[in-house]
Structure 1
Amino acid sequence: MKKVLLFLLCAGMFLPVFSQKMDGTNAKVKAFVDKSYASWYELYTYLHANPEISFQEKKTMAKMGALLREAGFEVTENFGGYGVVGVLRNGKGPTIMVRTDLDALPVKEETGLPYASKVIMQEDGRDVSAMHACGHDLHMTVFTGTAQALAMLKPEWKGTLVFIGQPAEERSGGAIAMLRQGLYEKFPRPDYVVGLHDHAAIPAGKVGYTEGPMMASVDAVDITVRGIGGHGAMPHTTKDPIVLASQIVLALQTIVSRETSPFQPCVVTVGSIHGGSAYNIIGNEVKLQLTLRSFDDSVRVHTIAAIKRICNGTAQAAGIPEELYPVIKIRDQYTPSNINDVALTKRLAGAFRQVLGTDNVVNTPPSTVGEDFARFARVEPKIPTCMFWLGAVDPKKFEESMKTGKQLPSLHSSTFAPLPEPTIKTGVQAMSSAVLDLLKSK
């Protein structure tokens, strides 16, 4: 997939070259972008230096709320946790929802930037460093710039804007909390929902789009493999959970290779295994932690069922009594697959080409990362949604990576450092053009 993506990105200029054919409204947005960038850079560096991890975004929420009020939005805070909702009504017309995420990650920053985070927070009773290692600071800055640009252009459009700052994306709890509290009932129900996410392998100045499946569903699974411990010198008197766990780990790989169609993406990764206490002791249990990824709901359901079957079957074959079969827990952090509405995505890609130029709009393959933005579409009646990628990599570093094969820092890396100016400017121009295009008709 990486080779395909790099091939697609080779053509064209790397810095934002806005189309000479853009209409008057988008030209005004570009002028506003150039005029306002200095204040957005100040906002971006502030957000980067002051991150807050999931479920603790109180100050970040207040900052976003204040900025939306300044732009003329009616603002509701503390919605779905530390979420914020801004509404700007401007006559009869479509209702467009724009979403940003607010939270940071428990990562110690190692970028060396002058505005690097030094924040320490409490999580589960322990001190953790905090960093915007996934670019949510960029998302919020583009979100703010777009809100300001559209408010400035009120004489040129009709409709309603709903701008939401969602908490707890990284822990996959914020979107569902906002929906359960009545996001679509207490505020104008959107005709379309749009979001963006920065990309660690697309040069700044470009955007990427994916029609249909864009990101995978994500499940976190805990498995406790139980046995009967004893002396390491007498394994025949025990039921060794380490051997059993090893057999289970290997057997789980067949879910993808032998039970899932090769035309259906599926990932089963055992990311953590812990068991035992000493070299001459056979313990009583081993703990496994898994991440599951898929795009199709039926593949997800089958994978979970297969895990349970394999765990219990392997335990039975090892002679483990039924009361000691593995304990399997599917965590409630489930994130559904993010499926972009095809018609909406094609429409937005056309709008992006008008303002950014064809060479700066890239058809991007799906990724098995996850994003709870997907939940905003999973309602009845269904609402068309689209998330697009925002290139964030310094073009010089991208070119160097292409030539040398040196890996670029990924999202969630302690060294991930986006290039602010072209990324923010391109993001505001792209998101503004998307919303303006959707406001033209219902």
Structure 2
Amino acid sequence: MKDRFRFFLNRIGEKLWVKPFVMCVLSIAGVFLAKLADDTEANQFIPNITLDSIEALLSIISSSMLVIATFAVASMVSAYASASSVATPRSFSLIISDDVSQNALSTFIGAFIFSIVALIALKNGYYEQAGRFALFVLTLLIFSVVIITLVRWVDCIARLGRIGETSDKVEAATAAALRRLRYAPTLCGASVEADLVVDQVIYGNVVGYVQRIDVAALQVYAEEVKIRITVVALPGAFSAPGQALAYITVGSSDLSSINVDRITREFLIDNDRKFDEDPRFGLIVLSEIASRAMSPAINDPGTAIGIIGTFVRLFVLWGEPISEGDIRISKYNRVAVPEISLEDMFDDAFTAIARDGAGTVEVAIRLQKAFGSLASMENSPMRAIAIRYARLALVRAEKTLEFPEDLERVRKLVKFTDLP
């Protein structure tokens, strides 16, 4: 339930209209809540605020907030376009869900709606003395929030959409997905059996990418009909008719009693991949940023070198030993889920950079240093894969680098692959 709620909240965060709509509702509610002060005995000791002073303040807010909100939208659209063109379009969902920008836009629009509704209510004699004072205090509070939000937002919008900021957001999303998967490598399901017996294959009926799998719901159904379900398509896998989503092992149960729709609907499939439960997507997006930076149009190998350092941090995070107390218990014994492939993760991260950066000596050198760092970890599978990809990167460099001394510098860094 917690994972489902988090996934739902992240999708809501990608909708730009949600927070402004909520703020508009709260602003209108605040105007009418100020009227409650008239039902108290506060008229006896609170100061009498003139209509002119409140109207002047509300008029200033209403006239300025619409302009600022329009400017905010224009700046955000410019930042989104910059992120898509300079970094990669796949990072758009992370940029648009930026909390600071959404909160700023929501505050500006909410303040504008509040001032308009409050002016209408005030000019029609809706408030008495206590109500006017409550509205005045509320207006000052909103004005203060607007000023603070504007100052914070100016600092944020100066960086929003820049390639460094975009890379940091993608890294943070990928690291969060890796942490969740480290502690539950089989999504709290059972491990896949080596001698698996397949009685029925469940195929996808929707074309798209698997975004999440409700393993808990699969467990409930598997217990109802006494079967075992083996997941084949992990989050990020492409689904289409003819592509297997899961295998069914019935044992002593009746195969005809299986409701295929009950199983397929627990695989959330849509047109795009999401970062939440798909760390490989984050690695691909970072690799795209690095490849685009090395294109002749941009020619920015420094960004690619920075991305390589990001990959080292992410793989170190993945390869660190985990204490048994941190691992989430496999509580779904009737649903088997395969673990993510480390080889696939290396391929997603390093293949494109090794290909596009083979002719750039500084990128080739930093790539070999990264592989050497990962191979030095006390993780046998990661060491073997790092050595393999270091050798592949060297082969690419040997076919591309023309200056002998540059090639020799790269070869010296690959000597770690000869160690036992």
Place the TM-score, normalised by the shorter chain, in its bin. Answer: under 0.3
Greater relative contact order (CA < 8 Å, ≥ 6 in sequence):
1
Alignment TM-score, normalising by the size of structure 1? 0.20
More helix by share: 2
More strand by share: 1
Alignment TM-score, normalising by the size of structure 2? 0.20
